[in-house]
């Protein structure tokens, strides 16, 4: 679990703002759900035999109630959709959220125990058009964030029937090769054989490379849905790869699955920036009507590492250096007047030499320093030092607020 220090916040804000703007431009509205939910919600939706539920949840009992810090957003958002009977209000619901998630994983670069996700969920649209739109939205966002080497992987895991048949087929293939698998995968053979496809163990990877893929088990409808996704992505001009071994670590998925990877040079093995997919049965399983759903989540910490976009470095726009005892109060008043015009200002009322104050102005990356000494107070002027343009002007006190805000506006254009 990490502290996010002020120097890093500009990049967090950039990512959160661009994500919210992108989501709103596709008709998503923001939702916030609690960080704590009943443990049973995650066990039922994510699945008992998944890494998240088996090993990674922060669960505790409080007054006989089993509770868990949310390991992901989807289950809580789907619970809110059912609880508020949102299907009676509108045929299609598009929600986004951001916030902290908790998984007791082995920490490494881009993998933490408290991490933040950007998340979108769509309820009521069976796709595949909206599936493709979600992916396209993310590719556009990652372009804005200047993330190098973005790769989209898609697959279909079919409906419940196809999945059950595939599970049998996979077990039939893996059982005779049991001895070649890792101990963990030998156990998974009974509990959750599909997870073996996702194993990082080199022994498992060799066996899995030869395993049958889901493709041949899909129903005609599943196949038509996937073909529709492929056509829509192609029409939108989104480059993608079909990865028949893509299964993902949560049990609730049906049909469309996708991952987006990027900036692998910096992220190494943890280069999955986005995981998402369809979960057409969850709403019904949570006691709601039969409503199809799809969504994705992206880890903000990974986007921070991956993004090469420049972020503004300035902490304040202007710095006021009062020199001499009579200048302190006029400096406080000037600072307040500037802030009312939307200029962020630091008034250094500690005093000190001009040199040391200007050094601090530079450390705050502000473009303008306002110098106010005894003689300026007396003559009703302010020295405006443009630290970027290396100019200095003596401006009448009555004009200085306009002068500074015009100068800053011209610069931001």
Point out which span in 5-13, 79-87, 291-299, 347-355 binds ligand HAM (CB under 6 A). Answer: 291-299
Q: Show contacts with ligand HAM in window 132-171 (CB under 6 A).
A: none
| Of positions 296, 317, 322, 404, contacts ligand HAM by CB under 6 A | 296
Q: 152 exposed, middle or buried (CB, 10 Å; 0-12, 13-18, 19+)? A: buried
Q: Is 288 in the site for ligand HAM (CB under 6 A)?
A: no
Query: C-alpha angle with apex 401: 399 to 405, nearest 5 degrees?
Result: 120
Closer residue to ligand HAM (CB): 98 or 298: 298
- Bridge partners, residue 333, by sequence: none
Q: Is 57 in the site for ligand HAM (CB under 6 A)?
A: no
31 touches 99 (CB < 8 A): no
Closer residue to ligand HAM (CB): 159 or 276: 276
- Binding map of ligand HAM across residues 170-209, x = CB under 6 A, - = no contact: ----------------------------------------
Closer residue to ligand HAM (CB): 140 or 351: 140
What is the nearest approach in angstroms of ligand HAM to the Cβ of residue 290?
Answer: 18
Q: Is 103 in the site for ligand HAM (CB under 6 A)?
A: yes
Query: What is the dihedral sign for C-alpha 224, 226, 230, 236?
Result: positive
Q: Is 297 in the site for ligand HAM (CB under 6 A)?
A: yes
E-only strand ranges, 103-253: 114-123, 151-156, 241-242
52 touches 42 (CB < 8 A): yes
Q: Is 383 in the site for ligand HAM (CB under 6 A)?
A: no
Query: C-alpha angle with apex 109: 107 to 111, nearest 5 degrees?
Result: 50
Q: Is 291 in the site for ligand HAM (CB under 6 A)?
A: no
Residues 253, 237: Cα–Cα separation, whole Å: 25
Strand order in the sheet with 318-323: 345-347, 318-323, 368-373, 381-386, 391-396
Q: How far is CA 382 from the centre of its chain?
A: 45
Number of residues that bind ligand HAM (CB under 6 A): 28
Residues 373, 376: Cα–Cα separation, whole Å: 5
Sequence-separated (6 or more) residues with CB below 8 Å from residue 368: 317, 318, 319, 384, 385, 386, 387, 404, 407, 408
Q: Is 105 in the site for ligand HAM (CB under 6 A)?
A: yes
224 touches 243 (CB < 8 A): no
| Of positions 97, 247, 274, 323, contacts ligand HAM by CB under 6 A | 274
Q: Is 273 in the site for ligand HAM (CB under 6 A)?
A: yes
Closer residue to ligand HAM (CB): 87 or 248: 248
Point out which span in 91-99, 160-168, 276-284, 399-407 binds ligand HAM (CB under 6 A). Answer: 276-284
367 touches 411 (CB < 8 A): yes
Residues 131, 126: Cα–Cα separation, whole Å: 9
Q: Is 299 in the site for ligand HAM (CB under 6 A)?
A: yes
Point out which span in 167-175, 202-210, 296-304, 345-353 binds ligand HAM (CB under 6 A). Answer: 296-304
Q: Is 371 helix (H, G, I), strand (E, B) or coil?
A: strand
Q: Is 70 in the site for ligand HAM (CB under 6 A)?
A: no
What is the nearest approach in angstroms of ligand HAM to the Cβ of residue 105?
Answer: 5
Point out which span in 23-31, 110-118, 186-194, 226-234 binds ligand HAM (CB under 6 A). Answer: 110-118
Place of tokens 């011209």: 410
Point out which span in 117-125, 164-172, 350-358, 367-375 binds ligand HAM (CB under 6 A). Answer: 117-125
Closer residue to ligand HAM (CB): 158 or 277: 277
Sequence-separated (6 or more) residues with CB below 8 Å from residue 254: 157, 158, 159, 160, 163, 277, 278, 279, 280, 281
Q: Is 272 in the site for ligand HAM (CB under 6 A)?
A: yes
Residues 284, 397: Cα–Cα separation, whole Å: 67
Closer residue to ligand HAM (CB): 127 or 295: 295
Closer residue to ligand HAM (CB): 14 or 250: 250
What is the nearest approach in angstroms of ligand HAM to the Cβ of residue 201?
Answer: 19
Q: Which residues in this chain contact ligand HAM in the complex, by CB under 6 A?
A: 72-74, 103, 105, 110-112, 115, 117, 119, 121, 249-250, 272-277, 279, 295-299, 301-302
């Amino acid at each position: 679990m990490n502290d996010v220090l002020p120097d890093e916040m500009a990049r967090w804000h950039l990512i959160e703002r661009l994500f919210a703007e992108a989501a709103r431009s596709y008709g998503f509205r923001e939702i916030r759900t609690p960080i704590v939910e009943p443990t049973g919600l995650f066990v039922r939706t994510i699945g008992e035999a998944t890494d998240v539920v088996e090993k990674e949840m922060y669960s505790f009992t409080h007054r006989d109630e089993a509770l868990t810090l949310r390991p992901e957003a989807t289950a809580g958002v789907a619970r809110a959709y059912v609880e508020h009977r949102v299907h009676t209000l509108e045929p299609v619901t598009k929600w986004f959220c951001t916030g902290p998630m908790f998984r007791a994983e082995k920490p490494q670069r881009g993998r933490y125990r408290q991490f933040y996700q950007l998340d979108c969920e769509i309820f009521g649209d069976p796709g595949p058009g909206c599936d493709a739109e979600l992916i396209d939205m993310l590719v556009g966002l990652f372009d804005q964030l200047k993330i190098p080497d973005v790769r989209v992987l898609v697959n279909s895991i079919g409906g419940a029937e196809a999945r059950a048949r595939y599970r049998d087929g996979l077990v039939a293939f893996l059982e005779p090769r049991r001895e070649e698998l890792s101990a963990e995968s030998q156990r998974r053979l009974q509990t959750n054989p599909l997870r073996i496809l996702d194993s990082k163990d080199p022994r498992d990877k060799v066996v899995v490379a030869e395993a049958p893929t889901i493709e041949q088990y899909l129903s005609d409808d599943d196949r038509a849905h996937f073909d529709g996704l492929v056509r829509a992505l192609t029409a939108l001009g989104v480059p993608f790869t079909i990865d028949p071994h893509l299964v993902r670590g949560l049990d609730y998925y049906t049909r469309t699955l996708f991952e987006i990877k990027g900036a692998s040079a910096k992220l190494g093995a943890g280069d999955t920036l986005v995981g998402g997919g369809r979960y057409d049965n969850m709403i019904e399983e949570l006691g709601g009507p039969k409503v199809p759903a799809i969504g994705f989540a992206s880890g903000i910490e990974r986007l921070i590492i991956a993004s090469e976009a420049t972020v503004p470095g300035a902490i304040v726009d202007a710095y006021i250096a009062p020199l001499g005892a009579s200048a302190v109060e006029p400096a406080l008043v000037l600072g307040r007047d500037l802030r009312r015009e939307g200029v962020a200002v630091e008034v250094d009322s500690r005093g000190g030499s001009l040199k040391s104050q200007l050094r601090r102005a530079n450390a705050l990356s502000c473009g303008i320093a306002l110098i106010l000494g005894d003689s300026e107070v007396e003559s009703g002027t302010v020295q405006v030092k443009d630290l970027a343009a290396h100019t200095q002007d003596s401006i009448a006190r009555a004009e200085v607020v306009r002068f500074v805000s015009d100068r800053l506006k011209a610069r931001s254009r």
